[in-house]
Chain A
Amino acid sequence: MKKLLSIIGLSALLFTSCSKDNDTILVEADGKVTVSFDAVFGAQDFALNKDFTSGTKTFNFTKFRYWVSNVALVNSKGEAYQVPNSYFLVEETSAVPVQEGAFTYPATKREDVVLPNIPLGDYKAIKFSIGVDQKYNDNLSLQTAELSQLNGMTNVSWMWMTSYIFSSVGGKVTENGTSKTLLVETGLNANYKTVTVDLPQAVKISSAKETKIVLNADVEKAIDGVDVVTNPVVGASKATIMAAVATNYSTKVFSVKSVN
């Protein structure tokens, strides 16, 4: 215990001795940003097990899950700060049977992603990718951040492609009294795309105040343009549709709700 105290003491000494070089006493430093991916369906708040109407179709969802990776913040000079180890599973899901029912991933709601140690500065945009980059997508034994085989977002439904499922929307779609099971998923290296969301005005990130960026993640836009009654199941065997869904994620699913 004495030793520990002396470490703290010594560290404090070193710490303070360094700050003597600075003129000001209170210095703003690197800040923390929380990015909240708030799921919506068009103008409505998204929720599981609730009916949403879109044209002649009614949707009822059991899951909305996607990997957010390689997050970067772009400062007012246009320089990007790449957040290290940024692999996050954003999700709102009922219990997921994993490995065809061998075990169950519990019902989970996670929309906040915390980005620590963002260099002090004014930032005008956030960039991120949906899915997992090629290095990790091609080799499931490489581990970093939240990447895992144990959450049902890997090779379950496309066993012949041992890789990550980038995004997954599941539930039920009903039209003219006929219901179909809906499962629209993306994956494959070719569909790993970057999203750039411009903030309405530059936001200062510093230690003085935590910054919160709230993004809308619109499920309706994710499946926009897809005839989900004809093709209720989209995966690697429906490559063209899957690519269109991936493009939706990169171009229209995400927008800014608020920054403060």
Chain B
Amino acid sequence: MTGKIAFLRITVCILLPTAVSSCKKDVPLEEINPVPHAVKLEVPGNFPTVEQDLDNPLTAEGIELGRMLFYDVRLSGNNRISCASCHRQDLAFTDGLALSTIGVSGKMLDRHAPALFNLAWAKTGLFWDGGSKNLESQAFGPLTSADEMHQDLLVLEAELKQVPDYVTRFKKAFNEDIKSVNVVKALAQFQRTLISGTSRYDKYKRGEAGASLTATELLGMNLLNSKCKACHSGELFTDDGYHNNGIDATFSDDHEGIYQGRFRVSFDPNDMGKFKTPSLRNVMLTAPYMHDGRFKTIDEVLDHYEFGIKISPTTDQLLYQDQTGIPLSKIEREAIIAFLAALTDHEFITNKKMNNPNP
């Protein structure tokens, strides 16, 4: 009997579309069922391979829609701020502030806005403590938080539906009406295209014509390789992991455990005070530093690693290099800073595929 009902269903499924489509002979097929154009990320030659996200495959239409949404103030409850308000392209998609107060509530945030690039490789969680598993889910955080964009998702859908261009674009990208899940999918697609791999270092590394690093920069690169690369590893200059880098000795549970870092996600005592390793790429653009932006300059950061390590049970063993901390001579420090500057990607921060499409 089960088989009979299934057979009946199949029959109706075959016949009904025939009946429906025969009434719409004049409409071209692609308008009824638009197929977005698949896109493959252009991975720099010195980068690791990238895994496609099978649940949200990249398409030209999805990426462009995501770019429009990223710069659209309609995404905030007061229609004044967009994602780009705290993620500026000229600063490698960060905001230059320690803790922002431009959210809808005006309240100071607990965390420093992270830079956005090479996110297609970020597979161990988003946010400083990794509490979000993917860019899609992550977007709901800032979108709805009262202290950030404070948008009502129903209002967001209604506001976007007022814009005929969006109605068309959502249809083309997802073959669906405007829904908040498609907003976050489009944003995630755009963010996965934010690849920074055209710094002077990259060109040198790939042996491109005319590319070179100075002797000081090369010294800095070698020092960085021996002293910093255990965490800031590989061509992405991050191990995508979590470490306690000795900025605090105690980790109170104030503010719902915001100082406890990875612990409040994993509940593993070994993760107390650990935060995501940020990439060193574009680091000269992304001051201030740390999860709360406490260090204003790269010199303050290097001072911390040399003299300021605070000891707690989870302080990373990698920070004990002959002493507590990472000692550097004046020349070594200058060389490291020179090399870090060679990781600045000017083409990335001026790339016209990533800027505001409606300036």
Residues of B in contact, count (CB < 8 Å)? 46
A102 and B77 form a contact (CB under 8 A) = yes
B264's partner among A101, A163, A237 (CB-CB below 8 A) is: A237
Is B151 in the interface zone, CB < 8 Å from A?
A: yes
Known: A4-B19, A29-B1, A160-B129. A99 touches B152 (CB 8 A): yes
A99 and B150 contact, Cβ closer than 8 Å, known pairs A18-B4, A30-B5, A141-B55: yes
Q: Is B154's CB under 8 angstroms from A141's CB? A: no
**Which residues of the partner chain A approach B22 to less than 8 Å between Cβ atoms?**
3
Q: Which size bracket describes the interface of A in this complex?
A: 35 or more
Q: Take A102-B77, A161-B265 as given contacts and tell me if A138 and B2 are in contact as well, using a CB distance cutoff of 8 Å.
A: no
One digit per residue, 1 when the CB lies within 8 angstroms of any chain B CB and 0 when it does not, for chain A 1-24 equals 001100100110011001100100
Q: Are B133 and A139 in contact, with the CB atoms below 8 A?
A: yes
CB of B351 within 8 A of chain A? no
In the bound assembly, the distance between CA atoms of A99 and B131 in angstroms comes to 18
Structural contact, A159 and B145, CB atoms closer than 8 A: yes
CB < 8 Å neighbour of B267 from A154, A156, A158, A239:
A239
A119 contacts the other chain (CB 8 A): yes
B12 touches A162 (CB 8 A): no
What is the CA–CA distance of A192 and B2 in the complex, to the nearest angstrom? 32
Q: Which residues of A contact B19 (CB under 8 A)?
A: 3-4, 7
CB within 8 Å for A102 and B150 given contacts A141-B181, A149-B180, A162-B132: yes
Instruction: Tell yes or no: B15 within 8 A of A by CB.
Output: yes
Which stretch in B136-144, B243-251, B307-315, B320-328 binds the other chain?
A: B136-144
- Known contacts A30-B1, A142-B55, A160-B265; A7/B151 CB under 8 A: no
Give Cα A120–Cα B144 distance, bound, in whole angstroms: 46
Q: Is A27 an interface residue (CB 8 A)?
A: yes
Confirm or deny: B34 has a beta carbon within 8 angstroms of a beta carbon on chain A: no
Q: Which residues of A contact B7 (CB under 8 A)?
A: 14-15, 18
Q: Which B residues touch A27, using CB under 8 A?
A: 1
Mostly helix, strand, loop or mixed at chain B's interface? helix
Contact B144 A99 (CB under 8 A): yes
Known: A30-B2, A159-B141. A11 touches B8 (CB 8 A): yes
In the bound complex, how far is the Cα of B265 from the Cα of A15, in angstroms? 55
Residue of chain B at shortest CB distance from A138: B133
B152 x A103 contact (CB < 8 A): yes
Please judge, given known A-B contacts A150-B153, A150-B154, whether A140 and B4 are in contact too, CB under 8 Å.
no
CB-nearest residue of chain A relative to B188? A141
- Chain A residues with CB below 8 A from B131, complex form: 160-162
Q: With the chains together, A119 CA to B2 CA distance in Å? A: 8
Closest 5 CB pairs of A and B: A141-B136, A160-B131, A162-B137, A138-B133, A29-B1
**Between-chain CB contacts (< 8 Å), 18 pairs:** A3-B22, A11-B11, A15-B4, A18-B7, A30-B5, A99-B151, A102-B77, A140-B136, A141-B56, A149-B181, A156-B144, A159-B141, A159-B145, A162-B132, A162-B138, A162-B140, A237-B256, A237-B264
- Which residues of A come within 8 Å of B, CB atoms? 3-4, 7, 10-11, 14-15, 18-19, 22, 27-30, 98-103, 119-120, 138-143, 149-150, 154-156, 158-163, 236-237, 239
Which residues of B does A touch, CB under 8 Å?
Answer: 1-2, 4-5, 7-8, 11-12, 15-16, 19, 22, 55-56, 77, 127, 129, 131-134, 136-138, 140-141, 144-146, 150-155, 180-181, 184-185, 188, 253, 256-257, 264-265, 267
Q: A11-B8, A141-B137, A155-B137 are in contact. List 8 more A-B contacts (CB 8 A).
A: A7-B19, A28-B1, A140-B140, A140-B184, A142-B181, A150-B180, A160-B264, A162-B133
